[in-house]
Structure 1
């Protein structure tokens, strides 16, 4: 679980890259970091959708995991749209 993550948690390396990218964008926006964070969000969408627990949670919703998975998916979609939707100057 520490190296490859679990059905509801990404590996720590991915979380570290995500946190570093967001910290860099908050500190001082950089043109290369924005699309990188967007691609990370896009890959997160794929990773979340790939998990069996996600499919089961949306087929048979429950009060514990469905909101957690839905919010993670929504935040990944937002991150991808904001990062990849930026127009180049």
Structure 2
């Protein structure tokens, strides 16, 4: 959940080229490659919202968002709920 993680980092860690990764996403994925990391971060944030008392801002940083505003906007776009509302519904 490193905020500096990028598609290039993923390629380097997997030892594959960027063009090959794009090909894999086109063949295997229902969403674009640039949403892949964001969705991983949202999924990790959902776990943290349910299992910790950490603040929304702290969770945003822990899962790799640059700030709470971007995190909240991405979370709401993904789930149609704010992180606060999601946490309340899970209690």
TM-score w.r.t. the length of structure 1 is 0.36
Q: Which has the higher contact order (CA 8 A, sep 6+)?
A: 1
